[in-house]
Amino acid sequence: MPTPLPPSSAERQYHVNGRAAVVATRERGSSTPRKERQGQRESSALQDPGLKDYRLGECLGKGAFGSVYKAFNWGTGEAVAVKQIKLADLPKSELRMIESEIDLLKNLHHDNIVKYLGSFFFSYDVDITRHWATRAQSPSDGLPLYRRVKPTFFWNRNTSQPFIDSGNDALVLPLMQGFVGQREFIMDKSPPQHDEDAKNALEMSNMSAPTSPPGSPPAEAIRGSLDLRASEKKFLITVISRRSIKRAGLRYLRRGVDEDGHVANAVETEQILSNSSWDKSSKIYSFLQIRGSIPLFFTQSPYSLKPAPVIQHSTEANFEASKKHFERLHREYGMLQVVNLVEKHNVEATIGNEYQNAVAKLNETVFSDHTSQVPFEWFDFHAACRGMKFENVSLLLDAMRTKLDELGSTVEKDGELFLRQRGVLRTNCMDCLDRTNVCQSSFAKYMLESQLKAEGYDLSMQVDQQSAWFNTLWADNGDSVSKQYASTAAMKGDYTRYKTRNYRGMLNDLGFSLTRFYNG
């Protein structure tokens, strides 16, 4: 049984004041079961004097040299990250490097480092900052991790600068703000016409409130313990949203565009379809879409529940900013399709008209070539869905089917790209949150159906017509993006999650509106 040596200045050091703690322990080899060794390591970590009041929480991540855990002080409510480093069999040179890294940590004080716990993501193995079609363009694996990620989604670059300047590349872990979630589901090429057991199980599951955290697989699948039929196959759907660092900030503090063409609340969302094991011999599908504030200079007062947008600067200045914005999108994504969801009447009409005029001028001057034209679809969401008739979103989907088929998906097999998505839909409402969430999930559902049909599966013929695994995943995505920009979960989320709209959902939305108004 491994026995941790008594702590010494060389073997165990910690730092809590900056809301980060590093614990290094030396252990001898042992045949003790892995789970028991893990429990002993966690226990020894909290025997440190500086951590005696903390309780170890879930594991945040594991690397080659150690693991990172949440820890909470139940007396003060303080949360810290505890990194436990393995020192067994390390040469003295590496021990000295770890000690110098700990000394560097002790001089850093970032009191808000855990403020947005749960909205930042990282990966050691997969570059989640790049969508599927561009991952092959990622720099060489020989470079440090922070130099391989896409700078637009590298959120902790500034706080990591002391590590970069001191040459401690191993301590720089790039974080992406947004959302990452997965769901596993089963498709049947020859679905039974009647399956009362599955139906009853589905009805019972709907009676209980969901307990799994956002983006994670449900605790129990309806048929998880049963063997698959010959005609069945497990698939995995992954949704990744990447929020840009450009023009970042909270709602009403960051609106519209800046002089460089960057817009507020710019989010790239990717839906990936694969088999449950990520087997490269099977096809992997990726569908990409983007959102972002209307690329004009405008402001809105935070002192009204529905403030009127006030356009700023001259028409020419607004056009130049829009031009930079769309030229950048065209270089990065290819073909573009604008989906504008603001009202055609009332307070939103003025900025909607200005937006439409700017895109029309772009098509006459910058994108005069027919192949590069930017179509502009103006769908007045509130007018079309008035009276809680959210099923009328299908009218927008009908208008976009041809364009979605034209843009297509990225398809990879055996590590090679067979197809590359030709362009993206750029969707916006005023906040690029609630209406945008509903419509983007509708577009994603249509593309998922097309991808499954290419694999020989018909989603419309399955026993489970509610597709709760899809709805929950996209509702969680919408809530995450909304909380990061507007401090509340998404409004209209009941339709995204349950495909129904009722007065309870409207009351929830009223509460969200008041919270957003209070937070400004």
- List of residues 6+ apart from 201 with CB closer than 8 A: 222, 223
Note whether 296 and 355 are within 8 A (CB): yes
Structure tokens at 236: 């995995």
Query: CA torsion sign, 472 to 478 to 480 to 483?
Result: negative
- CA-wise closest residue to 11 among 20, 19, 22: 22
Tell how strand 79-86 and strand 20-25 pair up.
parallel
Helix (DSSP H) and strand (DSSP E) numbers for the chain = 12, 16
What are φ and ψ of residue 454, in 5° steps?
A: -65, -25
**Which one-letter DSSP state was computed for residue 315?**
H
Phi and psi at 381, nearest 5°, equal -60, -50
Q: Do residues 267 and 292 lie in contact, with contact meaning Cβ atoms separated by under 8 Å?
A: yes
Residue 421 neighbours by CB under 8 Å, 6+ apart? 133, 286, 287, 288, 334, 407, 408, 409, 410
- Residue found by looking up tokens 């990744």 in the block: 240
- Nearest partner of 102 among 8, 17, 15, 18, judged by Cα: 15
Amino acid identity, position 91 = P
d(CA 277, CA 266): 31
Which residue blocks in 133-280 are alpha helix, DSSP H? 157-165, 196-207
Q: How buried is residue 478: exposed, middle or buried, by Cβ count under 10 Å (0-12/13-18/19+)?
A: buried
Annotated binding site for ATP: 83
Binding-site entries? 83
503/432 Cα distance (integer angstroms): 23
